[in-house]
Amino acid sequence: MYKIWLMTSANVAKNFKDINNINCPTCGRKTLDYLYIGDKKTKIGYLQVWCHHCSNGIHISRVKIPEGAKMLPFDTEKDLNEIVPRYNHITP
């Protein structure tokens, strides 16, 4: 399942503007969401992808943040727990 989520997160990274057309690899619904957290200057950070329906997701470190993608800087004062819901982390 981890490999499938990894491939899905790559698809989200390439097609984040059309995320509503990407199926969750666990439940098959089109209820995925994502958020990049990273450095504003270097555009390097990490990516979280999760499903609002089944509450599964993945966390990918050291990624390049695409221009125009939803992102919060590392030094944000926002509480990530209010933005990113709790989800079951899919691991290798």
Which tens digit of pLDDT belongs to each residue from 32-47?
999 999 999 999 999 9
Do 71 and 65 touch, CB atoms closer than 8 A?
yes
pLDDT class of 80 with cuts at 50, 70, 90: confident
Q: Where are the domains of the chain?
A: 2-89
Spatial neighbors of 22 by CB under 8 A, at least 6 apart, are 8, 11, 12, 15, 30, 32
- Considering all CA atoms of the chain, what is the largest pairwise distance in Å, rounded to the nearest integer? 36
Pairwise CA distance, residues 51 & 27, whole Å: 9
> How far is CA 62 from each of CA 8, 42, 44, rounded to the nearest angstrom?
17, 11, 6
pTM of the full structure: 0.93
Average pLDDT of the residues in 66-83: 90
Closest Cα partner for 58 from 22, 23, 27, 33? 33
